Amino acid sequence: MPIWEMNKLSRIKLVSLLIAALFISACSESEPPVEIESDGPPLIPVILQTDWYAQPEHAGFYQAQELGFYEEAGFDVTIRPGANMTNVPQMVATKRVQFAVGTSDNLLMAVSRGIPLAAVFPYFQHDPQCVMVHKESGITDLKQLDGKTVMIGPGTGYVQYMQKTLGIRLQIVPLDYSLTRFLANKAFIQQCFLTNEPFYAQKNGVNAHTIPLSTSGFDPYRLIYTNGDYAKDNPELVEKFVEATRRGWEDYANGDGAAAHAAIAALNSQHTDESMNWSKNAMTQHKLIAGDEEKGEFLGRFDRQRIERMISQLGELDMLDGTIDVDKAFPLGFAD
């Protein structure tokens, strides 16, 4: 809110805070930092850069932080939210951040362009990206989107794959992450997360239906990645971080998620207990975290054949700029 829109009391409080901040800054520049005594070895500072504001889709990370799993593994983890950031792979490549959140298709495209990234942990076996339609539209299959106007991320792998493989053409409206047009128009179709926007559509009286984009056959993981050299030079450190993260997601999936939900709500007031519990249930319903056990999927598993299939799909779409060493791009190996 601009300062001129504040009432007098709010302006006084703001000025007081600014003066206090300047005083603290001046003190920190003139006095040496105070070292905090610790009984054990110092914690290793680590930044985990996410791909959006704090939300339930990141809950396992916050669960690991709030329950002390990262600290037990020797890390002082900063979970740094970020929205619509396009330079995160470069931040990881230049080691400005140690870990980041992304998808396997985007990671493979970056690696093919020579960006030194390495995937280390899939926290979702399936991407929650979907298209959301009004149930009254009668649309139940991706092929029925042919010729329809869809608000979706243009140029993304799943859009290119759907149009080529399913033989459909979309009239694309660039994604603006707003539900305004969807709520106002029963013919409107938009991309969203299975675990998020449908809740708010229902709260606004809309009978929404979702179609996972993974049903097209283009099925990326959502994952954590790091710098390839960082993973090579610090294998034990990376494995400890991955194990602490796995513990966080496992605890979140099998428990009530209260610790993560409280941390997320403190950072993002949009999310309530009701909305986050709904999101958690959606993750379970769509088998996002642990996948489908009958198909050999489980939390933390990368499947080599699935990765190689995605490389082939991206190659057919001319979205790769070079060859990919799968073992280098996935240095922790593939689970049996």
Identify which of 333, 258, 254 has the alpha carbon closest to the alpha carbon of residue 300: 333
How many angstroms separate the CA atoms of 67 and 198, rounded? 30
Residue 1: what pLDDT?
Answer: 40
In a domain, 6, yes or no: no
Q: Residue 129 has which token pair?
A: 């990206």
Mean pLDDT, the chain, rounded, equals 89
Residue 39: what pLDDT?
Answer: 66
Answer with the residue of higher pLDDT: 99 or 37.
Answer: 99
Q: What global pTM score does this model have?
A: 0.86
Residue 212: what pLDDT?
Answer: 97
Is the pLDDT at 225 greater than 60? The verdict is: yes
In a domain, 73, yes or no: yes
Q: Which domain holds residue 61?
A: 44-126+220-329
Residue 86: what pLDDT?
Answer: 82
Q: Examine the domain organization and report whether 166 and 273 are in the same domain.
A: no
Q: Residue 160 — φ and ψ, nearest 5°?
A: -65, -40
Q: In what order do the strands lie in the sheet with 99-103?
A: 75-80, 44-49, 99-103, 222-227, 117-124
In a domain, 271, yes or no: yes
Q: Examine the domain organization and report whether 208 and 163 are in the same domain.
A: yes
Mean pLDDT of 154-176: 94
Q: Supply the CATH number for residue 203's domain.
A: 3.40.190.10
**Residues contacting residue 70 through CB under 8 Å, at least 6 positions apart:** 46, 64, 76, 77, 241, 244, 248
**What are the tens digits of pLDDT across the range 266-300?**
999 999 999 999 999 999 999 999 999 999 999 99
Q: Examine the domain organization and report whether 134 and 156 are in the same domain.
A: yes
Is the pLDDT at 13 greater than 90? The verdict is: no
Mean pLDDT of 246-255: 98
Residue 275: what pLDDT?
Answer: 98
Q: Examine the domain organization and report whether 122 and 134 are in the same domain.
A: no
**What are the tens digits of pLDDT across the range 33-54?**
333 345 678 999 999 999 999 9
Residue 85: what pLDDT?
Answer: 81
Q: Examine the domain organization and report whether 140 and 276 are in the same domain.
A: no
Portion of the chain with pLDDT greater than 70, in percent: 88
Taking the CA of residue 131 as centre, how many other CA atoms within 13 Å lie in the half-sphere pointing to its CB?
Answer: 31
**Polymer length in residues for the chain:** 336
**Count: domains in the chain:** 2
In a domain, 13, yes or no: no
**Residues contacting residue 107 through CB under 8 Å, at least 6 positions apart:** 89, 117, 119, 223, 225, 329
In a domain, 26, yes or no: no
